[in-house]
């Protein structure tokens, strides 16, 4: 059977609408049902013989359902994040899983607003995540060949309980994402994009951890599918990855275990918390106060971000283009 097949399929949410009430002189009056807005994040590694044909199918499907977001397709599989009505997303999930290689994709659901993506973009790329190593990644019907061992969230905690400080958490995201959330005592590579990882790993700066148990992590898991394989090929002996990434870990273990802070996400929400006990570890770029909120540069032609507290964000001068802003925010589907 084709398919990714290493993660459990998350159940589809059952409720698709909510009641809306208006209050008139103290009396609540029901005015109807409104579709719940959701966001899905997903990926699947499996050989795709004709990426252009899959692109056309996915674009037509999403347009027919009124969905917005970003989908990347390559010879290695599919990677996407979409937002819209829950009922439309459920139809999308069912129809996408009809493709043999996508049957066991793990679709991760979260709350949306209905305005989380400006448009729909479906593209074919050489890689699902741009490590600049398309020929190094090998994929078969079971997923990425030679990647790190998958651990469920509870297994991650068990590994740390058993082996303690010997375990190394290795962040597989862009460095700026870790400013607002990360695993405790994690290594945060100084990388601006995924392009930088291979050079950073080959620099020798991590040679001292090649014999240690390394847990790679990223938003939804896709970056670590590739990163873990790259590390193993370069001599790292015991490499793990978290099934479903930070998303699944946070849903399972919350904010009272090994994760701390907020999770940066690549849509207009910019960050999410798993519980109301989430720590705020980010610092305002202007005043140093605690914050988890990235803001868009005021220049509409700029894609930079700046981490600001509410008070500093209210001052227009703090949103003007500055060399210190986080550079190169990528509006691509990543996880």
Q: Taking 60 as the threshold, does the pLDDT of residue 31 lie above it?
A: no
- 299: pLDDT confidence band, cut at 50, 70 and 90? confident
Q: Give the pLDDT confidence score for residue 202 in this predicted structure.
A: 96
Is residue 8's pLDDT more than 50? no
pLDDT > 70: percent of the chain: 87
Report, as an integer, the average pLDDT of 302-307.
85
Neighbours of 257 (CB within 10 A): 17
Query: How is 185-220 classified by DSSP, letter by letter?
Result: T-B----SSGGGHHHHHTTSTTGGGTTSEEEEE-SS
pLDDT at position 318: 92
Using 50, 70 and 90 to split pLDDT, how confident is the model at 1? very low
Q: Looking at residue 226, what is its pLDDT?
A: 96
Per-chain mean pLDDT for the chain: 89
Range 50-77 average pLDDT:
97
- Which tokens sit at 194? 């995924």
CB 124 within 8 A of CB 51: yes
Neighbours of 228 (CB within 10 A): 25
Q: Which of 62, 218, 224, 284 is catalytic?
A: 218
> Is residue 218 among the annotated active site residues?
yes
| Banded pLDDT at 304 (limits 50, 70, 90) | confident
Per-residue model confidence as pLDDT tens digits over 205-240: 999 999 999 999 999 999 999 999 999 999 999 999
pLDDT at residue 7, rounded to an integer: 33
Inter-residue contact 20 to 33 (CB < 8 Å): yes
Residue 261 — pLDDT band, cuts 50, 70, 90?
Answer: very high
Average pLDDT over residues 14-29: 56
Q: Average of pLDDT values for 24-53?
A: 82
CB-count burial class (<10 Å; 0-12, 13-18, 19+) for 185:
exposed
Using one digit for the tens of pLDDT, what is the confidence trace for 315-329? Answer: 999 998 877 666 545
Rounded to whole angstroms, the Cα distance separating 54 from 112 reads 26
Token pair belonging to 215: 């847990």
pLDDT at 28: 56
Pairing of strands 305-307, 294-296: antiparallel
- pLDDT > 60? residue 30: no
- Over residues 167-205, the pLDDT tens digits come to 999 999 999 999 999 999 999 999 988 989 999 999 999
At residue 88, the pLDDT reads 97
Pair of tokens at residue 153: 């969230």
User: In which band, very low, low, confident or very high, does the pLDDT at 333 lie, cut at 50, 70 and 90?
Assistant: very low
**Burial tier of 61 (Cβ tally within 10 Å: 0-12, 13-18, 19+):** middle
Query: What confidence tens digit (pLDDT) does each residue in 144-166 have?
Result: 999 999 999 999 999 999 999 99
For residue 334, pLDDT beyond 60: no
Q: Distance (Å, rounded) from C-alpha 58 to C-alpha 52?
A: 10
Among 1-15, 22-36, 93-107, 221-235, name the one with the lowest average pLDDT.
1-15
As a whole number, mean pLDDT of residues 250-262 equals: 96
Higher pLDDT, 243 or 299: 243
- pLDDT value, residue 152: 97
């Amino acid at each position: 059977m084709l398919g990714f097949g290493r993660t459990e399929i998350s159940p589809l949410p059952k409720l698709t609408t909510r009641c809306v009430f208006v209050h008139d002189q103290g009396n609540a009056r029901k005015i109807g049902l409104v579709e719940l807005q959701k966001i899905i994040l997903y990926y699947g590694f499996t050989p795709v013989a004709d990426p252009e044909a899959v692109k056309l199918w996915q674009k037509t499907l999403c347009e027919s359902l009124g969905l917005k977001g970003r989908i990347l397709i390559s010879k290695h599989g599919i990677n996407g994040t979409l937002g819209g009505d829950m009922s439309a997303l459920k139809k999308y999930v069912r129809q996408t899983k009809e493709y043999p290689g996508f049957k066991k994709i793990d679709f991760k659901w979260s709350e949306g607003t209905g305005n989380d993506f400006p448009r729909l973009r479906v593209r074919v790329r050489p890689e699902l995540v741009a490590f600049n190593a398309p020929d190094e990644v090998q994929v078969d019907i079971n997923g990425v060949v030679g990647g790190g061992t998958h651990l469920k969230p509870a297994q991650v905690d068990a590994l740390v309980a058993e082996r303690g400080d010997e375990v190394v958490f290795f962040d597989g995201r862009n460095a700026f994402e870790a400013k607002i959330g990360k695993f405790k005592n994690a290594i945060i590579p100084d990388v601006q994009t995924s392009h930088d990882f291979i050079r950073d790993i080959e620099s020798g700066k991590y040679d001292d951890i090649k014999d240690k148990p390394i847990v790679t992590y990223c938003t939804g898991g896709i970056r670590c599918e590739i990163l873990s394989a790259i590390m193993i090929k370069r001599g790292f002996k015991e490499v793990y990855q978290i099934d479903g990434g930070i998303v699944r870990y946070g849903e399972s273990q919350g904010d009272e275990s090994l994760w701390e802070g907020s999770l940066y996400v690549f849509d207009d929400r910019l960050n999410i918390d798993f519980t109301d006990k989430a720590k705020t570890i980010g610092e305002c770029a202007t005043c140093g106060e605690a914050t988890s909120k990235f803001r868009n540069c005021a220049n509409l032609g700029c894609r930079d971000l700046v981490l600001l507290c509410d008070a500093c964000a209210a001052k227009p001068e703090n949103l003007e283009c500055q060399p210190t802003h986080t550079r190169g925010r990528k509006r691509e589907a990543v996880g």
